[in-house]
Amino acid sequence: MHTQLSIIDTLKKHNLSVTDARKNILSLFSQSGNALAHADIEQTSSAEFDRVTIYRTLQTFVEKGIIHTIPSSDNSVRYALCKDECAAGNHHHNHIHFICDNCGITYCIDQITVPKIQLPQGFKASQTDLIVSGTCNKCEQ
């Protein structure tokens, strides 16, 4: 199965040992396509993996540059797959994120890039997040 193969490859590429939890959680991300919060993952695979394992797996994925965090105002940080250019400790995301107020789905809108921001003297940017919230195309009547 192609998807499964590429998941193992992804883990190996980032020097991670291949475990059930990591394969499972990583495949959740590629299946969903959108961003996931810790709670989403826990609900989907709660029977299989301990809460602590999910926390640690997400943390590891962020450190290794497999997923990145998306800021939110509702105390539920979301995670999404990084693009290929991301390496450990060096995230490059120039796409914006859209959070639907209705269904809660978080989209990575790849078509739109974040404009370059000119900061005041002495401020140095390491990461820029552009989060748009509103109603998504599925929830629109």
Partner DNA sequence: ACGCCATTGCAACTTTGTTGCAAAATATTT
Partner DNA sequence: AAATATTTTGCAACAAAGTTGCAATGGCGT
**Residues in contact with DNA by the rule CB under 7 A:** 16-22, 38-39, 48-53, 55-57, 60, 75-77
Q: Which partner from the list a second copy, DNA, none does 52 bind, CB cut-off 5 to 8 Å by kind?
A: DNA
Query: What CA–CA distance (Å, rounded) separates 88 from 51?
Result: 24
Told to check if 88 binds a second copy by CB under 8 A, we report: no
Nearer to a second copy, 1 or 125 (CB): 125
Q: Among residues 49, 85, 52, which one has the least CA distance to residue 68? A: 85
**Sites for a second copy among residues 11-30 (CB under 8 A):** none
Three-state DSSP class for 100? strand
Query: What CA–CA distance (Å, rounded) separates 33 from 136?
Result: 15
**What are 132's two structure tokens?**
């748009």
Nearer to a second copy, 7 or 81 (CB): 81
Nearer to a second copy, 33 or 134 (CB): 134
**What are 15's two structure tokens?**
């020097």
Query: At residue 111, what are phi and psi to the nearest 5 degrees?
Result: -65, -30
Binding site for a second copy (CB under 8 A): 69-75, 77, 96, 98, 101, 109, 111-112, 114-115, 117-138, 140
